Structure 1
Amino acid sequence: MQRKPWELCFTAKPEEVAYLRRVVGLHLGSWGLLEVVDAAQLCVSELVSNVITHVGHGTPATLAVSMSGPYLRVEVHDPDTRALPTLLDAASDAEGGRGMALVDAIADRWGVLLRPGRKVTWCELATGLASANGHVGGAGVTRAEALIGLYGTSQQLCERSSSALGISMAEEVVVNVITDFLHWLSAHGCDADEVLDRAQTHFEAQIEGSGGMGRRGL
């Protein structure tokens, strides 16, 4: 799976936080990273709120999301290189700094980078992936992805076997392929039952259109 970095410019206002959370949730869902959606959305909320509170309401800023090896990286860019995030102890009575304490508790690591004319506050979350383009869900998802690529690039001709053993082996292969695709659907947050129902309907329509008589339910 290709997980390309993306950026979104926004204005630092409280009403923007919910929108940014939704955008992050949608992107991570399409990346198959459902397990880190809640943590990532919470980090986005705190990083953006930090800009609103300590840099200023209405500040032009940028949200950037990317993969850093097997880690999900969330960055918030703002133009103030002087107002650096402060990490306070959770027991402190001070009102400021609690947001970064929450980020520190959730993220695997975080930090601040100073660039010409801007500041980058970032955090990284472990995804459990083996690589930036790897899959969540195990070997079944990986095999299904390979099959998807194969189906999309070539037409394969299959030899038909009339022996009972050959048919039995072929059915076992088909069962394993369907199982792997169900793993892939689950890993990407899709409704597997709904997809199976659509496949059954499509199959039945094709059978009826070709004049076929017998069928078995999926």
Structure 2
Amino acid sequence: MTSLSNPVQAASAGHPAYSQTFPCEPETAEAGRRLVRDVLAVWRLDDLADRAALVISELIANAARHTPCPSIRLRVVRPSARRVRIGVVDRAPSRLPVLGLADADAESGRGLLLIDAMADRWGYDLHGSGRRVWGKEVWAEILVEDEP
């Protein structure tokens, strides 16, 4: 049984997807971890929960730190039977993620390095078209292991 206490939007066609809007603040990470764990439980992919929870935490932290947006949309999508995509959509398309190297004594700057290590691939997609780009989604994908 899951604990999805708030209704989340599910895709009406195509691949399964859940999304929900939250405030763009570090405290949203707890709700994001819960959402990801609950969705993965529905899909019977509990073995991915720890990696996915870490990834969503870092994506939320990056959005809260690097964008001025009041809210973000968390997405958990199953684009294929072999992949789970976890993403954060914000309305700051000019602030693109860049994988960098943090100094050894730096207290921050390792979020994308962690995502890069935990996910099978990651990236971002711009939303909108032409001159009307209104936002971006920073996402990470985790591959589903074959059943033994």
TM-score, structure 1 normalization: 0.54
1:113 aligns with 2:119: no
1:67 offset after TM fit, Å?
1.1
| CA distance in structure 2 between the partners assigned to 1:78 and 1:95 by the alignment | 24
| CA distance in structure 1 between the partners assigned to 2:25 and 2:101 by the alignment | 26
**SS of aligned partner of 2:65:** helix
| CA distance in structure 1 between the partners assigned to 2:19 and 2:140 by the alignment | 15
User: Larger RCO: Structure 1 or Structure 2 (Cα < 8 Å, ≥ 6 residues apart)?
Assistant: 2
Alignment check: 8 A CA contact 1:71 1:124 kept: yes
The letter for the 2-side match of 1:65 is V
| CA distance in structure 1 between the partners assigned to 2:89 and 2:104 by the alignment | 27
Alignment check: 8 A CA contact 1:3 1:31 kept: no
Q: Which residue of 1 aligns with 2:10?
A: none
Question: Equivalent of 2:139, from 122, 134, 141?
Answer: 122
1:59 aligns with 2:76: no
Q: Which residues of structure 1 form unaligned runs of 5+?
A: 130-135, 139-218
Q: Which residue of 2 aligns with 1:68?
A: 79
CA displacement, residues 140-183 of structure 1 (integer Å, 9 cap, x when unaligned): xxxxxxxxxxxxxxxxxxxxxxxxxxxxxxxxxxxxxxxxxxxx
Identity %, equivalent residues: 34
Q: Which residue of 1 aligns with 2:113?
A: 101
The letter for the 2-side match of 1:118 is G
CA displacement, residues 60-83 of structure 1 (integer Å, 9 cap, x when unaligned): 110111112211101110000111
TM-score, structure 2 normalization: 0.78
Alignment check: 8 A CA contact 1:5 1:64 kept: yes
Distance 1:38 1:3, change over 3 A: farther
| Greater Rg by CA | 1
* Runs of at least 4 residues off by over 3 Å: 90-97
Alignment check: 8 A CA contact 2:89 2:136 kept: yes
**SS of aligned partner of 2:98:** coil
More helix by share: 1
| CA distance in structure 2 between the partners assigned to 1:60 and 1:13 by the alignment | 8
Report matched runs for 1:1-40 at 5 Å.
4-40=16-52
Alignment check: 8 A CA contact 2:18 2:39 kept: no
1:94 offset after TM fit, Å?
5.0
More strand by share: 2
Q: Which residues of structure 2 form unaligned runs of 5+?
A: 1-13, 128-132
1:88 offset after TM fit, Å?
1.4
Alignment check: 8 A CA contact 2:75 2:88 kept: yes
**SS of aligned partner of 1:101:** helix
1:84 offset after TM fit, Å?
1.1
